[in-house]
Amino acid sequence: GHQYANILTETKGRVAIITLNRPDALNALNSPLMKDLNDALRVYDADEGIGAIVVTGGEKAFAAGADIKEMQPLTFVDNYKKNFIGDWTGVTTIRKPILAAVNGFALGGGCELAMMCDIIYAGDRAVFGQPEIKLGVIPGAGGTQRLTKAIGKSKTMEQVLTGKFMNAEEAEKAGLVARVFPAASLLEEVLKVAKTIASYSLPSVLMAKEAVNKSFEVPLSEGLHFERRLFHSLFATEDQKEGMDAFQNKRKPQWKHQ
């Protein structure tokens, strides 16, 4: 496959694995890394052989935030003119499910990147936080918005205003993380989930993701309307007939569209 400078890519069956790979800087996120990540995600999103994508980091860090050394000299005008971070959010435009497997630190932009994914799984020694306040700034890639939606106002205010870290257990209890696994088996467990998702009919998987994400954007009545329309439309697929026929005949469905 394609070689990237800041990430590693690999596929296992219908699952793609992207590993953030700047270990010397604890996978600190910079523009070249985010470009590699977004490029690889777009390639897999378009790849008919892929049904789900796992994004992971290293043992010590998923990502310790945006690169502070690079950010320190930036000015308001630089940031504004170049729309700094504006082009880092390509993750949220990917249609296939993205599972974050977080071992170690997911801080600042690292936590924000994990929250741009669809499901977060954590190793038991993972650490989450939005410590930007300690650097004289605030979260810049969704931390104040997505964390509030994930864990509520009070817990988010505490994280964002004090910069304190949250361990994996707390993150799971708060609802930021779907499940916690022993660090050594995290990737294997997440791959199992990704394999399951990738085994289903792709149109229903894409619509399920789209419908859940809609709930973050529109009032309940609009979200329910959108869900109903998608639900109805799936009855136009061969895979709805196949899935329901297979259930009745107690056999495994043979999906036409993956």
Residues marked active site are found at 66, 109, 112, 132
Roughly what angle, to the nearest 10 degrees, separates helices 153-162 and 143-151?
140
**Is 69 an interacting residue with respect to ligand CO8 (CB under 6 A)?**
yes
Query: Residue 25 pairs with which residues in a beta bridge?
Result: none
- How many residues touch ligand CO8 under the rule CB under 6 A: the total is 24
Say how far apart CA 61 and CA 127 lie, in whole Å.
9
Measured from the CB atom, the residue of 28 and 197 that comes closer to ligand CO8 is 28
End-to-end CA distance of the chain: 21
Measured from the CB atom, the residue of 7 and 107 that comes closer to ligand CO8 is 107
Out of 41, 66, 197, 198, which residue is the one contacting ligand CO8 (CB under 6 A)?
Answer: 66
E strand or H helix that includes residue 63: strand 61-63
- The stretch near ligand CO8 (CB under 6 A) out of 136-144, 167-175, 233-241, 248-256 is 136-144
Work out how close the CB of 163 gets to ligand CO8 at its nearest, in angstroms, rounded to a whole number. 8
Q: Smallest Cα–Cα separation from 255: which of 192, 206, 204?
A: 204
C-alpha triplet 69, 70, 72: angle, nearest 5°: 70
Q: Which of residues 220-249 bind ligand CO8 (CB under 6 A)?
A: none
62 neighbors 104 (Cβ within 8 angstroms)? yes
Work out how close the CB of 179 gets to ligand CO8 at its nearest, in angstroms, rounded to a whole number. 23
Measured from the CB atom, the residue of 72 and 254 that comes closer to ligand CO8 is 72
DSSP state of 175: T
198 by Cβ neighbours in 10 Å (0-12 / 13-18 / 19+) ranks as buried
**Is 68 an interacting residue with respect to ligand CO8 (CB under 6 A)?**
yes
**Is 88 an interacting residue with respect to ligand CO8 (CB under 6 A)?**
yes
Report residue 215 as tokens.
């709930």
**Is 141 an interacting residue with respect to ligand CO8 (CB under 6 A)?**
yes
**Is 108 an interacting residue with respect to ligand CO8 (CB under 6 A)?**
yes
**Is 132 an interacting residue with respect to ligand CO8 (CB under 6 A)?**
yes
- The stretch near ligand CO8 (CB under 6 A) out of 64-72, 95-103, 117-125, 242-250 is 64-72
Which amino acid belongs to residue 184?
A
Find where tokens 């700034």 sit: 137
Q: Are strands 98-102 and 7-12 parallel, antiparallel or unpaired?
A: unpaired
Measured from the CB atom, the residue of 69 and 232 that comes closer to ligand CO8 is 69
Interacting residues toward ligand CO8 by CB under 6 A: 25-26, 28-29, 64-69, 85, 88, 105, 107-109, 112-113, 131-132, 135, 139-141
